[in-house]
Chains A and B, each alone.
Chain A
Amino acid sequence: MTRLRSLSLIDAIGLVLLAVLALYLAKEFVGDPSRFINVSIIGLTNGAIYGLVALGYTLVYGILQLINFAHGDVFALSGLVASTIIVSVFGLDESTGVLVILVGLAATLAITIPAFALLNGSIERVAYKPLRHAPRLAPLITAVGVSFVIQNVSLAIYGVDFESVPNFIPRTDAIRIGDIVIPWNKLAVFAIVIPVLLILTWFVRSTRQGKAMRAVSQDTEASAMMGIDVNRTISVTFFLAGALAAVAGLVYLLQFNMRYDTGFELGLIAFTAAVLGGIGNLTGAVLGAFIIGLVQALNEGLDGTPGSDWTRSLVFGILIAILVFRPQGILGEQTPEGA
């Protein structure tokens, strides 16, 4: 049910808050433009990674109306496994030649993508599928449980240590315009993420499986009656989400180090991004991710902002604000609640 009168008041409050924020950002930009832009570039880079994970959340939510709490932990585990493959199996380090590194990374992805696609699909089969007709609370609770199981698997294998890979992608500047720099390692993120996004777009828009996914997201019963294999479509969605998580894991690993619990924070950030953009909306997930990435970077990179201690609270604050002021997100459509 929409509440006509109160909506406008809430809308007004939301717009006022946004206006204040915009003014603040404008002031910062004018104060030190190149720093603002550099920080923003970091934000966009992080946003690209968040986008891959956010897509995983939004794909699954679109088709099952389920928040797959475990998704972030699958992402983390994939990064940890990738680190093992890169360092211990392939033995890549800073001294390795560029071509070998590229081949090594591609080979790593060739292993982690199918592996984690399969893992994600298996999780769905084992833990969520049996509960498809249970009360709504049930798969949600199960997802929380699965999240902890995966986290502890990571813990069991890797302990509490941070895993990382050597900096074989240099942090030197690739592009330089005045004081604005884009280092190689940031460029590399886009070099990987953008093709993945293009492939995903093509898949969802042009292939039969992609169309099936969209159909099932909109109306499961009607799709089944049209002859679409709903079970298989759901499985494919989970495979896809798992694959995206694996790519995100590797890209994240190239920038930062990872630990068994990295997935928790990142999962929350990515889910917030998905909701911000409009849950169920793929473009929205990426858009939301860029925005969150920017917010985080600006919070941590500028003076006068609360700083990295408060990042989690800030992201949650955004999540709560979205759900209060505009629950359908930026690109989402307003659905009649309770109908």
Chain B
Amino acid sequence: MAAPADNLLVATQVRKEFGGLVASNDIDFAIPRGSIVALIGPNGAGKTTFFNQITGVYVPTSGSIMFDGVEVVGKPPHAIVELGIGRTFQNIRLFAQMTAVENVQVGMHCRLRGGIFGSILHTPRVKREERESRERARELLTYCGLPRRHEEYAGTLPYGDQRRLEAARALATDPKLLLLDEPTAGMNPQETADFTDFVRRARDDKGLTVLLIEHDMKVVMGVSEHVTVLEYGAKIAEGSPAEIQANERVIEAYLGKGAAA
């Protein structure tokens, strides 16, 4: 595959079985540092399952996932966040009972120190940390396209703002690798274009690496530098967007046999 580049994430022979169903079929996958990579494939290809294994929600049946030199398999999700992987969810999973700012603050949880004693006693250090975290949360929200509505409850925000909030919350975890699961689902073309700009900007401004699951080919072609294609849990192709677009196997996977023109 790629030359011995500096790979932030290296997944080796990752396999996930649910009973008799093989959801991830010995996947080998590497993400170069600083790149924007897209993971695509027809529905049911196992993209979210793969995400979930990177973030520790699922434990692979076998295989290894090395993140920045550290083995991630077997670690609980919160430890993986601490290592520097943040994510959004396919179906938005905001904390509806908390305001936008509070949602972002939860994202900062592992980067803050305020413990139980400091909180009860309201020590100056905790007080300051809380104030600073609120300010930083506001900044992040504004950066992600939410300059207002910070004190509104997440459940009451319109769909587009909820997506932005999800992104802000993920960025709050201060990640090296940002996983975006179908981030443009339900967006109109303008919002989608804004979003692809945002992804590029965030990568450049914050020194991120981005892995996104996408169905919208314009986004894939427009923003990603590498594309990996899954089908039925197995990797069937990878390369640059242009290469993938012309790849017969990929076209077949999406449109069925005989569709490769």
- Chain A partners chain B: yes
Interface residues of A (CB under 8 A from B): 1-5, 336, 338-339
Roughly how many angstroms separate A3 CA and B76 CA in the complex, as a whole number?
8
A338 near B59 with CB under 8 A, answer: no
A339 near B58 with CB under 8 A, answer: yes
Instruction: Name the residue of chain A whose CB is nearest to the CB of B60.
Output: A4
B57 near A338 with CB under 8 A, answer: yes
Q: Min CB distance, B22 to chain A, in Å?
A: 15
Roughly how many angstroms separate A130 CA and B248 CA in the complex, as a whole number?
54
Interface residues of B (CB under 8 A from A): 18, 56-59, 74, 76-77
Instruction: Name the residue of chain B whose CB is nearest to the CB of A4.
Output: B74
Roughly how many angstroms separate A1 CA and B59 CA in the complex, as a whole number?
7
B59 near A2 with CB under 8 A, answer: yes
B57 near A339 with CB under 8 A, answer: yes
Residues of B within 8 A of A339 (CB): 57-58
Instruction: Name the residue of chain A whose CB is nearest to the CB of B73.
Output: A4
B18 near A336 with CB under 8 A, answer: yes
Among B18, B56, B74: residue with most chain A CB under 10 A: B74
Residues of A within 8 A of B58 (CB): 1, 336, 339
Q: Which 6 A-B pairs have the closest CB atoms?
A: A4-B74, A2-B59, A4-B59, A1-B59, A5-B74, A1-B57
Q: Min CB distance, B239 to chain A, in Å?
A: 32
Q: Min CB distance, B109 to chain A, in Å?
A: 18
Roughly how many angstroms separate A338 CA and B77 CA in the complex, as a whole number?
11
Roughly how many angstroms separate A336 CA and B18 CA in the complex, as a whole number?
9
Roughly how many angstroms separate A153 CA and B18 CA in the complex, as a whole number?
48
Q: Min CB distance, A110 to chain B, in Å?
A: 45
Asked, given contacts A336-B58, A338-B57, A339-B57, whether A1 binds B18 with beta carbons under 8 Å apart, the answer is: no
Roughly how many angstroms separate A336 CA and B59 CA in the complex, as a whole number?
10
Roughly how many angstroms separate A339 CA and B74 CA in the complex, as a whole number?
15
Instruction: Name the residue of chain B whose CB is nearest to the CB of A334.
Output: B19
**Extra contacts besides A1-B56, A1-B76 (13): CB < 8 Å:** A1-B57, A1-B58, A1-B59, A1-B77, A2-B59, A3-B74, A3-B76, A4-B59, A4-B74, A336-B58, A338-B57, A339-B57, A339-B58
Q: Min CB distance, B20 to chain A, in Å?
A: 13
Among A1, A3, A336: residue with most chain B CB under 10 A: A1
Among B59, B76, B77: residue with most chain A CB under 10 A: B59
Residues of A within 8 A of B59 (CB): 1-2, 4
Roughly how many angstroms separate A41 CA and B224 CA in the complex, as a whole number?
71
Roughly how many angstroms separate A5 CA and B74 CA in the complex, as a whole number?
8
Residues of B within 8 A of A3 (CB): 74, 76
Q: Min CB distance, A131 to chain B, in Å?
A: 18
Q: Min CB distance, A24 to chain B, in Å?
A: 36
Roughly how many angstroms separate A338 CA and B58 CA in the complex, as a whole number?
9
Roughly how many angstroms separate A336 CA and B58 CA in the complex, as a whole number?
8
Instruction: Name the residue of chain B whose CB is nearest to the CB of A5.
Output: B74
Residues of A within 8 A of B57 (CB): 1, 338-339
Roughly how many angstroms separate A3 CA and B77 CA in the complex, as a whole number?
11
A–B complex contacts, Cβ < 8 Å, 10 sampled? A1-B56, A1-B57, A1-B58, A1-B59, A1-B77, A2-B59, A3-B76, A5-B74, A336-B18, A338-B57
Q: Min CB distance, A142 to chain B, in Å?
A: 21
Q: Min CB distance, B62 to chain A, in Å?
A: 11
Q: Min CB distance, B226 to chain A, in Å?
A: 29
Residues of B within 8 A of A5 (CB): 74
Roughly how many angstroms separate A336 CA and B16 CA in the complex, as a whole number?
12
Roughly how many angstroms separate A85 CA and B58 CA in the complex, as a whole number?
56
Roughly how many angstroms separate A4 CA and B58 CA in the complex, as a whole number?
11
Roughly how many angstroms separate A2 CA and B18 CA in the complex, as a whole number?
13
Q: Min CB distance, A9 to chain B, in Å?
A: 14
Residues of B within 8 A of A4 (CB): 59, 74
Residues of B within 8 A of A2 (CB): 59
Residues of A within 8 A of B77 (CB): 1
Residues of B within 8 A of A338 (CB): 57
Roughly how many angstroms separate A338 CA and B56 CA in the complex, as a whole number?
11
Roughly how many angstroms separate A339 CA and B48 CA in the complex, as a whole number?
12
Roughly how many angstroms separate A4 CA and B74 CA in the complex, as a whole number?
7
Q: Min CB distance, B78 to chain A, in Å?
A: 11
Residues of A within 8 A of B76 (CB): 1, 3
Roughly how many angstroms separate A5 CA and B56 CA in the complex, as a whole number?
14
Residues of A within 8 A of B18 (CB): 336
Residues of B within 8 A of A336 (CB): 18, 58
Roughly how many angstroms separate A5 CA and B57 CA in the complex, as a whole number?
16
Instruction: Name the residue of chain A whose CB is nearest to the CB of B76.
Output: A1
Roughly how many angstroms separate A208 CA and B195 CA in the complex, as a whole number?
52
Q: Min CB distance, A244 to chain B, in Å?
A: 31
Residues of B within 8 A of A1 (CB): 56-59, 76-77
Q: Min CB distance, A123 to chain B, in Å?
A: 30
Roughly how many angstroms separate A303 CA and B245 CA in the complex, as a whole number?
78
Q: Min CB distance, A149 to chain B, in Å?
A: 30
Roughly how many angstroms separate A161 CA and B76 CA in the complex, as a whole number?
53
Instruction: Name the residue of chain A whose CB is nearest to the CB of B74.
Output: A4
Roughly how many angstroms separate A338 CA and B74 CA in the complex, as a whole number?
15
Q: Min CB distance, B208 to chain A, in Å?
A: 26
Roughly how many angstroms separate A3 CA and B59 CA in the complex, as a whole number?
8
Roughly how many angstroms separate A5 CA and B77 CA in the complex, as a whole number?
15
Roughly how many angstroms separate A5 CA and B75 CA in the complex, as a whole number?
10
Q: Min CB distance, B59 to chain A, in Å?
A: 6
Q: Min CB distance, B24 to chain A, in Å?
A: 14
Roughly how many angstroms separate A5 CA and B73 CA in the complex, as a whole number?
11
